[in-house]
Amino acid sequence: MLLTNPYAATIVYVSVAVLSLIVFLSLFELVTKYKCWGEIKRGNVSVAMATGGKIFGICNIFRFSIEANDSIYQFLIWGAYGFVILLIAYFLFEFLTPVFRIDEEIAKDNRAVGFIAMVISIALSYVIGASVMI
């Protein structure tokens, strides 16, 4: 009943998305070899780009999930599912780049690698989001 009011629904969806974003970014923090927020505080632009791409990617998946689902529970389930796919894609990116280690290059502030990591997160979020709409 709360979600029938568009103002209340907006507050609920945004609140759940922000809380989920915090949880999902924490999970990304656990799997990377660098500490995102510490590196950003030091001025590491590559980490900022990669993290920004993850934030955009996660939120974009949630956007598609809100649009495609009628309940907060479906939105959250599909959003979490999309995040898992994005996380798997992150591991594939690391695995399929045998020439160098992605995390190490980003930690060293290799901006080319940080930019590619950002674009991959953003681009894949559109593909994942479109699949959530099916």
**Residues 6+ away with beta carbon under 8 Å from 35:** 29
User: Model confidence over 49-85: pLDDT tens digits?
Assistant: 999 999 999 999 999 999 988 788 888 999 999 999 9
> What pLDDT, on the 0 to 100 scale, is given for residue 98?
79
- For every residue of 17-48, DSSP letters joined together read HHHHHHHHHHHHHHHSSS-HHHHHHHT-HHHH
Averaged pLDDT for residues 15-39: 93
CA atoms within a 13 Å half-sphere pointing along the CA-CB vector of 123: 9
Q: How confident is the model at residue 44 (pLDDT cuts 50, 70, 90)?
A: very high
Residue 1 pLDDT more than 70? no
Question: What tokens appear for 128 in the block?
Answer: 């994942």
Residue 97 pLDDT more than 80? yes
> What pLDDT, on the 0 to 100 scale, is given for residue 61?
95
Least confident of 93-97, 103-107, 125-129: 93-97
Domain residues of the chain, as ranges? 2-132
Which pTM value belongs to this model?
0.89
